[in-house]
């Protein structure tokens, strides 16, 4: 009998049922066989974890040490990096630290000069490896630097060399980005002058190290360094300064002069409100200034003052009592001949002139005769009293000594020429200071550039009496209303003054043709004087408007008038009624006060003057034509009472010597050759 066929699924069913049998699951041998790999892996992981903890602790300890060191070096005890930096910079000279410099302001607090922080670039050439390459790279970021000069500064055995004095923050960053070893930065200061050219000759300049070079920067150098936070307040009013500069510059331009000067002075305190010298320069760029631009014509330039000195001659005659404004007259009908010299008038009247007419018509002859009344010795004493023989004591290092004849050479010819402003050379500051004393009541005060406390009276020296000063104010006003200074008049401000035109002398003596100084000096308002003014143009030339003249009446007087009209309101002066009787009475005087001009009786001869030929003293013969009449005047103001009774004349000193020797002071000798010298324009 055949056996049954085997079941093909029998083995498979067994295999499927085998793993799940209870006897197989609980077999400990099978469990041990299957868990051994996991335990091994676990053991390995345990060992790795310990190693990681150990490594982490090591790194933590390392970083903790580094952090602790950094904390000590930068916070707790930062001296060690300083020692290292000091060792690195050993042997490299470092400039002195900047200590600061006080600002300078005008009288109202406007800043005229101030120091601002800047960054300087310097190099240690010993640390520069390739100077040529470094110079090329620097010149690309700092194009203002010359490449060849940079190579020279980066080469050599020295250890310090400035490359640039003032870098902007952007330039500093550009240099820093180059990453060049041997280049270093230094924090410093630079002086800035916000007003540019204004008051440049007053302020002066400093050098690259901040030390004063000129002007007030030099005179007050120690004070500016010692008190860097205390501004130095000057007497200058920048508003007046700009107005004065504009007027002088316009006069120079209109008459094609080579330069000019101007001063505004408080006559009661001596404060310089404005001081101008042209040509000038930008105070922030002294390196580009020429010697002519740096020259201060106000305090260093010495010029013959011309007819402005006739005010001093008149004041001396009144003060000495040798002439009287109401009764004295002077022979201006004939030239004065002194040896080979001749003194004459420019467009003279050809007749005897009263005291006021000598000033109004600017007569050289009248001034010379007036000076003869007190003589050369007393003239020199008066000039010395007025400060004309010594240096001005102002707060500037740049001041000049006047050029005057020596004491033993001050003779008759010098006396006569100096009486009308020739044969003596002084600065414009001398002139305006002296005339301030004439107008302010007779007190001479040294000019100052420092602002004075309000209400405080500065000490001065009395040089003339109040009575003489009052008379001189009337005469100064007369020159502006009826004389050569008409161009300076400003309605309501009662300007008074005097023009002066003097020819310039050459380097070898003698006068230069068509080379002159045109100046005006005066004060305002004459009823209560507050300010003095001086305007000068050097070598003016005629133009079409001046009808061929280039004298002070055409050039300087109108410039002074324009300044006064502009600055008087700024200075707080209110114009007065020009026809107010009380003011007219205080400032007016007639050309021939109280009477007509005296004429010598028929056949009489004026008193002879020592040293002067008789022909010069003689009155014109009877047959001579009558003297020309005075120039027509505008309608006279209300009647003005004459001045106080005349002062008796004192006997004139006997003039000492009759002959003139060759004077070493060549200007005084040449000053008398005035035949071709035009003095004033009417």
Give the tokens for residue 526: 């004459």
Q: CA torsion 226→230→236→237, rounded to 10°?
A: 160
pLDDT confidence tier of residue 30, bands split at 50, 70 and 90:
low
C-alpha–C-alpha distance, residues 161 and 163, integer Å: 6
Q: In the prediction, which pLDDT does 636 show?
A: 37
Q: What's residue 316's pLDDT?
A: 97
* E strand or H helix at 132: helix 131-141
Q: Is 606 a residue whose pLDDT tops 50?
A: no
With H, G, I as helix, E, B as strand and everything else as coil, classify residue 461: strand
Is the pLDDT score of 619 beyond 60? Answer: no
- Is there a contact between 215 and 112 (Cβ–Cβ < 8 Å)? no
**DSSP string spanning 293-331?**
HH--TTTT--B--GGGGHHHHHHHHHHHTS--TTT-EEE
Count Cβ atoms below 10 Å from residue 549 Cβ, excluding itself: 19
CB 541, CB 535: distance < 8 Å: no
Whether pLDDT at 653 is above 50: no
Q: How far apart are CA 187 and CA 119, in angstroms?
A: 5
DSSP structure class, residue 431? H
Q: What mean pLDDT is predicted for residues 450-471?
A: 93
Question: CA-to-CA distance for 318 and 310, rounded, in angstroms?
Answer: 12
Between 610 and 592, the more confident residue is: 592
Q: Is the pLDDT of residue 668 over 80?
A: no
What pLDDT sits at residue 287? 86
Mean per-residue pLDDT for 471-480? 96
In whole angstroms, give the CA distance from residue 362 to residue 358.
Answer: 6
Mean pLDDT across the chain: 81
Residue 298 has a pLDDT of 97
pLDDT at residue 532 is higher than 80: yes
Enumerate residues 6+ apart whose C-beta is below 8 A from 100: 115, 189, 225, 228, 229
- Residue with more model confidence, 390 or 1: 390
Secondary structure (3-state) at 175: helix
DSSP state of 612: S
The average pLDDT across 163-175 equals 86
For 543-591, the pLDDT digits (tens) are 888 888 899 999 999 999 999 999 999 999 999 999 999 999 999 999 9
Give yes or no for residue 647 having a pLDDT over 80: no
pLDDT computed for residue 117 by the predictor: 87
Closest by CA position to 610, among listed 405, 417, 373: 373
At 566, list the tokens.
């502009």
pLDDT in tens, 121-148: 989 888 888 888 888 899 888 988 888 8
E strands within 127-257? 161-167, 183-192, 232-233
For residue 403, give both structure tokens. Answer: 């050029």
Query: Using one digit for the tens of pLDDT, what is the confidence trace for 306-354?
Result: 999 999 999 999 999 999 999 999 999 999 998 888 899 888 888 999 9
pLDDT for the residue numbered 52: 85
Bigger pLDDT: 176 or 651?
176
> Quick one: tokens of 10?
């029998």
Residue 390 near residue 402, CB atoms below 8 Å? yes
Structure token pair of residue 678: 């035009």
User: Residue 24 — pLDDT band, cuts 50, 70, 90?
Assistant: very low
Asked if the model's pLDDT at residue 463 lies above 90, the reply is yes
pLDDT at 598: 44
40 pLDDT above the threshold of 70: yes
pLDDT score recorded for residue 467: 96
**Regarding predicted confidence, which is higher, 309 or 667?**
309
Q: For residue 77, what pLDDT is reported?
A: 67
Neighbours of 226 (CB within 10 A): 11
What is the rounded average pLDDT of the residues 242-269? Answer: 96
Confidence (pLDDT) at 45: 79
Higher pLDDT, 208 or 420: 420
d(CA 565, CA 122): 53
Q: Dihedral, CA atoms, 174, 176, 181, 182, nearest 10 degrees?
A: 90
**pLDDT band (50, 70, 90) for residue 99:** low
Give the Cβ contact number of residue 470 at 10 Å. 16
CA angle 606/610/615 to nearest 5° reads: 50
Look at residue 626 in the predicted model and tell me its pLDDT. Answer: 34
φ, ψ of residue 535 in degrees (nearest 5): -135, 130
**Of the given ranges (145-149, 192-196, 379-383), which has the lowest mean pLDDT?**
145-149
The catalytic site residues sit at 307
pLDDT for the residue 22 = 45
- Name every residue whose Cβ is closer than 8 Å to that of residue 490 and which is 6 or more positions away in sequence: 524, 561, 564, 565, 568
Please give the pLDDT value at position 257.
95
Question: How many angstroms separate the CA atoms of 357 and 366, rounded?
Answer: 9
The CA distance from 299 to 308, in Å, is: 17
Distance of CA 389 to the CA centre of its chain: 24
Give the Cα separation of 610 and 336 in Å (integer): 12
Give the rounded percent of residues in the chain with a pLDDT score beyond 90.
54
- Arithmetic mean of pLDDT, 207-221: 92
Q: Which two tokens stand for residue 201?
A: 């000759």
The segment with the largest mean pLDDT, out of 152-166, 233-247, 628-642, is 233-247
CB 406 within 8 A of CB 423: no
Under DSSP, the state recorded for 206 is B
Most confident range (mean pLDDT) of 483-487, 542-546, 672-676 is: 483-487
Q: Rounded to whole angstroms, how far apart are CA atoms 426 and 404?
A: 8
Contact 190, 207 (CB under 8 A): no
Paired tokens of 1: 């009998």
Helix, strand, coil content of the chain in percent (nearest 5): 40, 15, 45
For CA atoms 96, 102, 104, 105, the dihedral sign is: positive
Burial of 620: CB neighbours in 10 Å, binned 0-12, 13-18, 19+: middle
Contact 211, 221 (CB under 8 A): yes
**CA pair distance 139, 122, nearest whole angstrom:** 14
Q: What percent of the chain has pLDDT over 70?
A: 78
Cα distance between the two ends of the chain: 177
Q: Which pLDDT score is estimated for 276?
A: 97
Backbone phi and psi for residue 277, each to the nearest 5 degrees, phi listed first = -135, 125
């Amino acid at each position: 009998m055949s056996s049954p066929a085997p079941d093909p699924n029998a083995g498979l069913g067994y295999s499927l049922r085998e793993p799940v049998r209870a006897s197989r699951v609980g077999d400990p041998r099978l469990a041990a066989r299957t868990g051994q790999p996991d335990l091994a892996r676990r053991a390995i992981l345990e060992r790795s974890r310990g190693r990681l903890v150990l490594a982490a602790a090591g790194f933590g300890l390392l970083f903790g040490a580094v952090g602790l060191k950094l904390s000590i070096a930068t916070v707790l005890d930062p001296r060690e990096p300083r020692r290292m930096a000091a060792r690195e910079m050993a042997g490299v000279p470092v400039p002195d630290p900047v200590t600061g410099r006080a600002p300078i302001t005008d009288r109202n607090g406007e800043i005229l000069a101030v120091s601002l922080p800047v960054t300087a670039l310097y190099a240690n050439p010993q640390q520069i490896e390739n100077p040529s390459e470094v110079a090329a790279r620097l010149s690309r970021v700092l194009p203002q630097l010359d490449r060849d000069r940079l190579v020279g500064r980066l080469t050599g055995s020295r250890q310090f060399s400035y490359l640039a004095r003032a870098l902007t923050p952007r330039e500093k960053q550009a240099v820093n980005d180059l990453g060049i070893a041997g280049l270093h930065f230094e924090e410093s200061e630079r002086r800035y002058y916000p007003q540019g050219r204004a008051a440049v000759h007053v302020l002066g300049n400093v050098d690259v190290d901040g030390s004063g070079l000129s002007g007030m920067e030099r005179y007050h150098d120690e004070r500016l360094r010692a008190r860097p936070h205390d501004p130095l307040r000057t007497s200058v009013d920048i508003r007046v300064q700009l107005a004065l500069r504009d007027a002088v510059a316009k006069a120079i331009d209109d008459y094609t002069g080579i330069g000019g000067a101007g001063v505004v002075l408080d006559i009661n305190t001596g404060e310089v409100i404005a001081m101008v010298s042209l040509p000038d320069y930008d105070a922030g760029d002294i390196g580009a200034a020429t010697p002519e631009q740096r020259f201060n014509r106000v305090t260093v330039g010495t010029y013959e003052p011309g007819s402005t000195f006739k005010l001093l001659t008149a004041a001396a005659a009144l003060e000495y009592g040798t002439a009287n404004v109401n009764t004295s007259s002077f022979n201006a009908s004939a030239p004065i001949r002194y040896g080979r010299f001749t003194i004459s008038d420019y467009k003279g009247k050809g007749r005897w002139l009263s005291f006021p007419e000598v000033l109004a018509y600017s007569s050289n002859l009248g001034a010379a005769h007036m000076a003869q009344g007190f003589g050369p010795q007393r003239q020199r004493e008066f000039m010395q009293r007025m400060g004309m023989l010594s240096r001005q004591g102002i707060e500037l290092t740049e001041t000049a000594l006047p050029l005057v004849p020596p004491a033993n050479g001050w003779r008759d010819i010098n006396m006569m020429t100096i009486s009308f402003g020739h044969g003596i050379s002084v600065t414009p500051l001398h002139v305006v200071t002296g005339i301030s004393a004439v107008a302010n009541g007779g007190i001479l005060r040294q000019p100052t550039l420092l602002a004075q406390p309000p209400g405080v009276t500065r000490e001065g020296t009395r040089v003339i009496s109040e009575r003489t000063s009052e008379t001189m104010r009337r005469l100064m006003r007369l020159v502006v209303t009826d004389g050569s200074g008409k161009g300076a008049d400003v309605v309501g401000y009662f300007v008074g003054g005097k023009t002066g035109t003097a020819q310039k002398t050459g380097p070898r003596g003698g006068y230069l043709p068509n080379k002159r100084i045109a100046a005006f000096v005066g004060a305002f308002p004459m009823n209560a004087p507050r300010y003095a003014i001086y305007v000068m143009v050097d070598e003016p030339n005629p133009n079409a408007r001046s009808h061929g003249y280039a004298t002070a009446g055409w050039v300087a007087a109108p410039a002074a008038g324009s300044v006064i009209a502009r600055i008087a309101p700024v200075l707080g002066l209110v114009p007065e009624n020009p026809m107010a009787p009380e003011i007219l009475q205080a400032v007016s005087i007639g050309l021939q006060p109280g009477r007509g001009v005296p004429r010598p009786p028929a056949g009489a001869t004026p008193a002879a003057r020592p040293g002067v030929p008789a022909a010069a003293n003689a009155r014109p013969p009877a047959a001579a034509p009558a003297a020309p009449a005075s120039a027509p005047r505008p309608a006279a103001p209300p009647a003005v009472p004459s001045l106080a009774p005349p002062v008796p004349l004192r006997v004139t000193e006997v003039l000492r010597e009759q002959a003139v020797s060759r004077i070493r002071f060549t200007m005084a000798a040449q000053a008398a050759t005035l035949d071709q010298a035009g003095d004033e324009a009417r």
